[in-house]
Amino acid sequence: MLAFSRLAAIQSGRSIVRATNAGITTVIAPDGREIARLRVRGEDREVAGSLPVRVPVPSTQGARSMPLFVRTERLWQSLWILAPLALLAAARQRARYPEPGRG
């Protein structure tokens, strides 16, 4: 799960704070680096405690440092909304004008 959290941080360009009862509690930076990890007497799994850390929040001004997916987030959202509508329109158009020799 730590690897998935690291990938999620890189993909989204945002910090991930992972707090668990039975795993590794850590903070992952937007570039995938681990910033802090909760350790108690050398152990990092299934330990009780708190992890005081400053979580980096990326600024909107540094758009070039953000991953491509994050920079084009609005485009992807629009695509997921418009794609079903375009497919529906294409299906209706095809039903309206069937190919010669069919139907």
Residues 6+ apart with CB under 8 A from 87: none
Q: How far is CA 50 from the centre of its chain?
A: 26
Tell me the average confidence (pLDDT) per consecutive run of 10 residues in the chain, 103 residues long: 89 86 87 89 85 79 65 86 92 80 61
Cβ neighbourhood burial of 25 (10 Å; 0-12, 13-18, 19+)? buried
**Adjacent-strand bridge partners of 16:** 28
Query: CA 75, 17, 49: angle at the middle one, nearest 5?
Result: 170
The pair of structure tokens assigned to 35 is 């910033």
Q: Where are the domains of the chain?
A: 1-65, 67-97
Query: Nearest Cα to 30, choosing from 53, 58, 51, 5?
Result: 58
- Which strand ranges, in their side-by-side order, compose the sheet holding 26-28? 16-18, 26-28, 34-37
Residue 60 has what pLDDT?
A: 61
